[in-house]
Amino acid sequence: MKIDILTVLPGLLESPFAHSMLKRARDRNLLEIGVHNLRDWAINSHGQVDDYQYGGGAGMVMMCEPLANAIEALAARNPFDEIIFMTPDGEKLTQKMANQLSLKNHFLIVCGHYKGIDQRIRENFVTKEISVGDYVLSGGELAAAILVDAIGRLIPGVLNNETSALSDSFQDDLLAPAVYTRPANFRGWTVPEVLLGGDPQKVEEWRHESSLQRTRDRRPDLLKD
């Protein structure tokens, strides 16, 4: 899989992709991440990529010309399956969406900044708009990092134990069950006996009930259907 990211702050994305599972994915050539500086397509020698918004109001808007030129130049090298814009008013990111995107071969993530991007880019280039939650960030870079992490860990070969992702929260519309590790007794706080008994069927039954109970308590909206 290849993911290209278009941003005015490429340095902000250096660390998230240089550690842990995403680093492993890149080292194993399972995931290629290309971070591109939008200012390489600036409209002048000053590196301008934004301007005042029509109609007045606070906040600058990222311009059509550099965005269109950048998207077209990157797409000419290798066509995109999706062109994604990270925005608070997009479709909320879910595990199901991450699963679907993990099956793509190549897509571009456009990171907004300032007041956002010119609407004409959204209408004529963007194929999918994604939000990571009902809040506003300073730009789309951290949201893009979240999206890449959610997708990258699903690529076969990235996790040491690929079945681990199948038991994550939201994979079956339930929250993940409680988990325990050694020691079995810590300060008098003990591990449920069923997890120590060695019966795989009983363990799975306990985990399913734990998932159901957690979901009832914390996210009952997930059980509405």
Instruction: Report the distance separating Cα 166 and Cα 160, nearest Å.
Output: 13
Instruction: Report the distance separating Cα 134 and Cα 101, nearest Å.
Output: 21
Instruction: Give me the residue spans of the domains in the chain.
Output: 2-152, 169-223
Task: State the amino acid at position 181 in one-letter form.
Answer: T
Instruction: Report the distance separating Cα 225 and Cα 205, nearest Å.
Output: 21
The pTM score is 0.89
CB contact at 8 A, 19 and 95: no
**Per-residue tens of pLDDT for the chain, all 225 residues:** 999 999 999 999 999 999 999 999 999 999 999 999 999 999 999 999 999 999 999 999 999 999 999 999 999 999 999 999 999 999 999 999 999 999 999 999 999 998 999 999 999 999 999 999 999 999 999 999 999 999 999 998 888 655 555 556 677 789 999 999 999 999 999 999 999 999 999 999 999 999 999 999 999 999 986
CATH number for the region 169-223 comes to: 1.10.1270.20
What is the fold of 2-152? Alpha/beta knot (3.40.1280)
Instruction: Report the distance separating Cα 147 and Cα 134, nearest Å.
Output: 15
Task: State the amino acid at position 115 in one-letter form.
Answer: K
CB contact at 8 A, 106 and 84: no
